[in-house]
Amino acid sequence: MGRVFVAGSINMDVVATAERHPRIGETVAGEAVLYFPGGKGANQAVASAKLGIPTTLIGRLGTDAFGRELRAFLAAQGVDLAFVKDTDGTHSGTAIITVANADNTIVVVPGANGLVDADDVAAPTLAKGDVAVSQFEIPLPTITAFFRRARAAGATTILNPAPAKAADKGLLDLVDVLILNETELGVLAGTELRDNDAPSRFAEAARALGRGKIVCVTLGKRGVLALVGDQPLLVPGHEVKAVDTTGAGDCFVGALASQLATGKPLRDALAYANAAASICVQRMGAAPSMPTAEEVENAISPRRRPGEGLDP
């Protein structure tokens, strides 16, 4: 079995719930303020670790109260924190989140996450069969350095280019599996996409990102579209009542990484990750909502054969 290494952000999510989102310049009455461990790197690491896969997180925390709380939480989830540094002179990453009708808006203040550098990602030793995961909440040159080391070691690289921003070809060429939603796909492909577009439209945009990598487009309850060797594969989603979608994408990424580290075929790994994400959205919070392996197996067992679906 391989291991999962996640280089990424660690945040405290400060969540305000309300009946609806405010318009620009408007104030609305909130219902509650909640504090949840989060950050895309931390979320993805927790998702993988709770599924029973040896998972190491690489990142930075501030030496503040949030930093201490985040470190204690992540350790309790079974995440290896040997390569998470405490950094003086800055605050821990913080996300300000508004949740209304299961939809969210997020403002991320990077803090210590913005200081994760090439030396940090050079510290762990990767090997063939491992999976290296990153996202866009740490500096892009750091991700490039991380993936170069991973490729040299024979590890599989997974990039979740979120929040959406342009990335140079040099970084994308180091990616084996690209996991993104329609917004992020539109930014990288230079086109405008909507969540209700036909699967063939997403496949066309994914092809623009170049050959040699697997592109997985997450489509919420519609499932996931994967472009593998120029051939589209549509794995259906799960119909559930969503409570909070904040960590759903990260849950999918972490779960997929965990299954690829075990050597599971892509189609089965996608179906497994879909099931994991469907559990995540039924709970509040990001990292605390990640499911266990037993919960995912229970969600899959009464359904269709793993990965069964129709190609678009």
Instruction: State the binding site for K(+).
Output: 244, 246, 280, 283, 285, 289
Question: Phi-psi region for residue 231, left (φ > 0), alpha (ψ -120 to 50) or beta?
Answer: beta
Binding residues: 11-13, 39-43, 137, 181, 218-223, 244, 246, 249-250, 274, 280, 283, 285, 289
Active site residue 250: yes
- Strands 231-235 and 224-228 turn out to be antiparallel
d(C-alpha 14, C-alpha 33), whole Å: 7
From the list 120, 168, 250, 311, the catalytic residue is 250
d(C-alpha 115, C-alpha 61), whole Å: 10
Active centre residues (catalytic): 250
